[in-house]
Amino acid sequence: MNNKTLSIVSYITLIGWLIAYFSGKEKADSLLKYHLRQALGLAIVSIIFNLALNAILLAAPSLAFLGFAGWAILVFWILGIINASNGAEKPVPVFGKAFENQFAFIG
């Protein structure tokens, strides 16, 4: 797989991220490294969001409508995939800038 394909795969669950990371480790270019950072950051935000939402819903089930905020994270995943397929090093909305220089083990 080329680096553009691996950049797209990195957004498809954590298993896809692991495949992209280990497959592209030797020949990673800036595009792949950028999208590996973005996808990992988005996965971490998604996990933290889901844990927090579950804690809130356990305490106050009447706030179940907050679950619709999870759709925003899905939209961010899709935007990341679109950016990767276009070959653009563009951050995902809201959280993307925070992950541009994080995860030193990737680069």
Which residue type occupies 3? N
107 pLDDT above the threshold of 80: no
> Residue 92's closest CA among 18, 35, 25?
35
Range of the domain at 94: 3-99
Q: Are the C-beta atoms of 56 and 69 separated by less than 8 Å?
A: no
Element (H, E) at 6: helix 3-9
Number of folded domains in the chain? 1
pLDDT digits (tens, 9 = 90+) for 71-104: 999 999 999 999 999 999 999 998 889 998 888 8
pLDDT digits (tens, 9 = 90+) for 6-37: 999 999 999 999 999 999 888 889 999 999 99
Q: Could you give the C-alpha distances from 61 to 47, 56, 72, 73, 101, in angstroms and in order?
A: 20, 8, 21, 21, 38
pLDDT digits (tens, 9 = 90+) for 48-59: 999 999 999 999
Kindly indicate the confidence band of residue 42, based on its pLDDT and cuts at 50, 70 and 90: very high
Whether residue 49 lies inside any domain: the answer is: yes
